[in-house]
Amino acid sequence: MPATLFQRSRGSAPPGRQVRRQHPSTRTGRRRSHALSSWLSRNRRLAIALLLCVAAGITVHQLTPPPADSVTVLAAARDLPAGTALAEADLVATPVPQQLVTAGSVAGPSQATGKQLAAPLRKGQLLTDAQLLGPGLLTGTPAGSAAVPLRMADPSSIQLVSPGQLVNVVLTGANGYDQQSPSEVLASSVPVLWTSGQGGQTGQWLGTGETEGLIVVAASPDQAARLAGASTQGKLFFVLVGP
């Protein structure tokens, strides 16, 4: 019987031996791993620095306290001049961190609508009761202080004074003709809280619509006693003084 000849094709595996073919993705992964290892060996210091930066960032993130709860308060929606009677459109609700909220901050429109500004507000500035006509104007004054309204003899002089300035209140009984009377300082270095020259027209806080020539000063009990009704005793003037 003739022998059977077996011819092995080129590239075929020898008898009894299996050829393992690598998947293309496996070869790609090995090449990438080798490239990464080579890059790390060449840039070892840079890699260490990057790892340290990541570790520092994680540490800072863990040590940073969580953001504080925010509180909604009112702020000026636009620049508002002193004397403005506030409307809802003049104010905007603004969330701020709780630790930044000051005493007297106004939270709801109902607490401010219709009230009058005693000082100007810039757009975005938070509103407090100390900026509204009312008891809040006496915030920070000594105990027993009173807000005393005074009508000046020269209404046009009101334009020269603004809230925060210190004045001496002077009484004179002279009529400008034959009567001569020495002037008397009724109160020295009293701070001005409000003036009618700011554009106030409603007179809500003072209880009167006739605000021309009026200023409001913060006075001690003794000064308030001398200033009360002083305009009936003569003419009142103010003198600007330094702090």
Residue 94's nearest CA partner among 74, 111, 121, 80 is 74
User: Quick one: pLDDT at residue 16?
Assistant: 53
Query: For the segment 147-165, what is each residue's pLDDT rounded down to a tens digit?
Result: 888 989 888 888 888 888 8
| Chain length of the chain | 243
Token code pair at residue 111: 């607490």
With cut-offs at 50, 70 and 90, classify the pLDDT of residue 131: confident
Q: Which amino acid is at 16?
A: G
pLDDT at 195: 84
Distance separating alpha carbons of residues 72 and 67, to the nearest angstrom: 15
| Average pLDDT of the segment spanning 12-37 | 58
pLDDT in tens, 29-82: 566 666 667 766 667 777 677 777 887 777 766 666 555 578 888 999 999 887
Mean pLDDT of the chain: 76
Amino acid at the residue 184: E
164: left (phi over 0), alpha (psi -120 to 50) or beta: left
Residue 169 confidence (pLDDT):
94
Q: Is the pLDDT assigned to residue 144 strictly greater than 60?
A: yes
HEC states along the chain? CCCCCCCCCCCCCCCCCCCCCCCHHHHHHHHHHHHHHHHHHHCHHHHHHHHHHHHHHHHHHHHCCCCCCEEEEEEECCCECCCCECCHHHEEEEEEEHHHCCCCECCCHHHCCCCEECCCECCCCECEHHHECCHHHHCCCCCCCEEEEEECCCHHHHHHCCCCCEEEEEEECCCCCCCCCCCEEEEEEEEEEEEHHHCCCCCCCCCCCCCCCEEEEEECHHHHHHHCCHHHCCEEEEEEECC
| pLDDT computed for residue 49 by the predictor | 75
Name the pLDDT band for 190 (thresholds 50, 70, 90): very high
pLDDT band at 6 (very low <50, low <70, confident <90, very high): very low
Question: Which tokens sit at 208?
Answer: 């009167």
> Which single residue is written with the structure tokens 């009724």?
186
Return all residues near 149 (Cβ < 8 A) that are at least 6 apart. Answer: 206, 214, 215, 216
Rounded Cα gap, residues 71 and 207, in angstroms: 34
Asked whether the beta carbons of 104 and 126 are under 8 A apart, the reply is: no
Q: What percent of the chain has pLDDT over 70?
A: 70
Does the pLDDT value for residue 146 go beyond 80? Answer: yes
- 172 versus 65: which is more confidently predicted? 172
* Band of pLDDT at residue 197, cut at 50, 70 and 90: confident
- Given this model, what pLDDT does residue 79 score? 92
More confident residue, 78 or 105: 78
